[in-house]
Amino acid sequence: MKHHVAIIGAGPIGLELAVAFKQFGIDYVQIDAGQIGSTIAWYPSEMLFHSSSDRLGLAGVPIQTATQQKITREEYLAYLRALVMQFGLQVRSYERVTRASRLRGGGFELVTRALDGEHRYRVEHVILAIGAFHAPRMLDIPGEELPHVSHYFHDPHTYFAKKLLIVGGRNSSVEAAVRCQRAGADVTLSYRRDDFDPKVVKFWLLPEVRALIRDGRIRYLPRTTPIEIGNGTVLLAPVGDDAPPLEIDADFVLLLTGYRQDSMLFDQLGVELRGDDRQPVYDPETMETNIPGVFVAGTSVAGTPPRKVTVIVETCHVHIPRIVAAIQGKRVALPDGALDE
């Protein structure tokens, strides 16, 4: 199959880009290894976004909620489905790109594995809108693979009346601790630092978690890190201290220590990745990488981000007009300071 452009990824920015291509009459195919918004789908149930609804809206379609409050995970997934239906987008979901290569005569070939078998596409341009969170950051400690250990928090009901150890102290860990304690779990929170960073924890969660710790409803163990997980117990070692490890009881363990990007497609296409976080190199005026015809969009520009996530959906809308213009052989005039994003 031949197309002018391939969009790999159907998250919010990938979908917004597809709408723009359709509006400008640009021939494209959109492919995603999972369902649309697949990263958002594994967020915790009923999670509230940090960003306001007006900043999460796509393609000029506003988001309205009954409560005029922050939008939930479920509401945003419903919004994405409605966007696909409203604009008649054709997304080849559950189709994974297994190989991406440059063709000697120009253009690119993509090989995919779908539910109905293998497919091949030839395109002139490739947009990598694959996001930045594909797999958890592993601690590589004994017991991490045990069935009661998870790197994903889905539903606090799972931990009702059970002893739960949560490892981490950033936004996802704090939210999990608060919600699971509310749901009746016996929560212990282990964090390698002394205190939470108010710049990365949702402002409405900080007072609550501090109050729960103060009142003894959440056990907080700062400056500790797990070194071994067993069946029903976890060994925590003090950080920067020669004190002996502390053994605590835990029926379940949530290791909410961050996630990393799968850079396979960048590597296959020859995109230059720089720094410890392996950020793709690109021209901020066009979003084109060092490989002509290969563009990057959305949170995938972050590579594997450091502990603090700075590239989010609301900062990536500007990628759309830059890529559309570049595909059409034009350039977008950027405001002062835009190149410092």
Could you tell me if 97 and 210 lie in one domain?
no
End of a domain among 255, 270, 293?
A: 255
Q: Decide: 97 and 294 in contact? Cβ < 8 Å.
A: no
My answer on whether 160 and 120 are in the same domain is no
Q: Domain check: are 214 and 294 in the same one?
A: no
The answer on 185 and 92 residing in a single domain is no
Alpha carbon 255 to its chain's center: 16
Q: How many domains does the chain have?
A: 2
Domain end marker among 210, 236, 255: 255
Exposed/middle/buried for residue 25 (C-beta within 10 Å: 0-12, 13-18, 19+)? exposed
My answer on whether 214 and 323 are in the same domain is no
Q: What is the CATH number of the domain that holds 295?
A: 3.50.50.60
| C-alpha closest to that of 271 among 105, 121, 127 | 127
**CB contact set of 73 (below 8 Å; sequence gap of 6+):** 40, 41, 43, 44, 45, 46, 47, 49
Element (H, E) at 295: strand 294-296
Query: Are 19 and 107 within one domain?
Result: yes
Task: Evaluate if pTM is beyond 0.75.
Answer: yes
Q: Would you call 48 helix, strand, or coil by DSSP?
A: strand
Do 240 and 120 belong together in one domain?
no
* Sequential pLDDT tens for the chain (341 residues): 899 999 999 999 999 999 999 999 999 999 999 999 998 988 888 888 877 888 899 999 999 888 778 899 999 999 999 999 999 999 999 999 999 999 998 999 999 999 999 999 999 999 999 988 788 889 999 999 999 999 999 999 999 999 999 999 998 999 999 999 999 999 999 999 999 999 888 888 999 999 999 999 999 999 999 999 999 999 999 998 888 999 999 999 999 988 888 899 999 999 999 988 889 999 999 999 999 999 999 988 888 766 555 667 888 899 999 999 999 987 765 655 554 44
For the four alpha carbons of 321, 12, 303 and 305, in that order, the dihedral sign comes to: positive
Based on the fold, state whether residues 22 and 156 are members of the same structural domain. no
